[in-house]
Structure 1
């Protein structure tokens, strides 16, 4: 017994041919793209100057910062910034726990550049009822510069809360000793 099969072209066969051609096209494009990524472009090197007997000194980018912070995040830097401010204002730090009601509370974001200089101050919550305190806090921050240079960060902006007593002394939330109940 011989069986013969009739050859019939269906719509499904036509689609599979289109699908195979599309896949082949995608494969070729992918191969070309990958080849272009793998082959480095040769660029001519500039001619090297003739060696001289004197070696030119390397240019200095500026003075190296005296204080350096190894903090990896703004939150870690916050402790270094607060410690620096306490060190520069030892006589103005409120000793012990603050009274239950303080004269002013302010939340200040401080931007420090790569060498420890203050770039910007941004009040997130200024004590608007005490403009003298706002001015004094800003003066205190600028006077404490340079801050520790953020070695692991190009620059840093950190936020701290200033707790200001009516005596003119303050604590920072990062290093606060807390508040009394009464």
Structure 2
């Protein structure tokens, strides 16, 4: 059975993260390796299919992004792809896998402003899901928790816009990486 685009991206993120963890765990000869994280902090594999998880499931310590990487995006639109990939990697267990159902709980359009180091400077709702203030708060918390984002090397500071597609289960997709709707 062929893998969906989201599944391929999640596997790629997991492979890159695992390789980075392996390299970080290597120490020069004569030095003890750095302390490894507790088993509770190890990332779990996202469950397959479009099965949503429990309402309000928040990312644990395992979903904290590793050291920031550098983005070579030349435009905010190109940077949006790097930011979405970063958010997916930081929240793998919260991504709605597969095509979204036709009726979503909330849809919001958020502008994110980042500094040269990828730190969140400002969040601005261009279209907030006003019927779901808890979703607004959770999206803002999720974006801030994912910092630092990839450093926008060619852009310096960057402002990008993405659309959040929120399922009632608390799982989401970003329009940039969405698999579409039924």
> Aligning the two structures, in what range does the TM-score lie when normalised by the shorter sequence?
0.5 to 0.7
Checking the alignment, whether the CA contact within 8 Å between 2:68 and 2:149 is kept in structure 1 is no
For residues 117 and 152 of structure 2, the distance between their equivalents in structure 1, rounded to whole angstroms, comes to 7
What TM-score do the two structures reach when normalised by structure 1? 0.63
Offset at 1:179? 0.2
Cα pair distance change 1:155/1:91, threshold 3 Å: same
2:72 to 70, 73, 83: 70
1:166 to 145, 165, 168: 168
1:29-68 aligned at under 5 Å gives the runs 66-68=68-70
Counterpart secondary structure, 2:156:
coil
Counterpart secondary structure, 1:157:
strand
Offset at 1:66? 3.3
For residues 66 and 95 of structure 1, the distance between their equivalents in structure 2, rounded to whole angstroms, comes to 25
Q: What CA deviation, in whole Å up to 9, does each residue of 1:34-70 have, x standing for no partner?
A: xxxxxxxxxxxxxxxxxxxxxxxxxxxxxxx731000
Q: CA RMSD in A?
A: 0.8
2:162 is the counterpart of 1:139? no
Corresponding residue for residue 154 of structure 1: 156
Which of the two has higher C-alpha Rg?
1
Corresponding residue for residue 59 of structure 1: none
Which consecutive aligned stretches of 4+ in structure 1 deviate over 6 angstroms post-superposition?
Answer: none
What TM-score do the two structures reach when normalised by structure 2? 0.63
For residues 109 and 156 of structure 1, the distance between their equivalents in structure 2, rounded to whole angstroms, comes to 10
Offset at 1:154? 1.4
Corresponding residue for residue 91 of structure 2: 89
Unaligned runs of 5+ in 2: 1-66
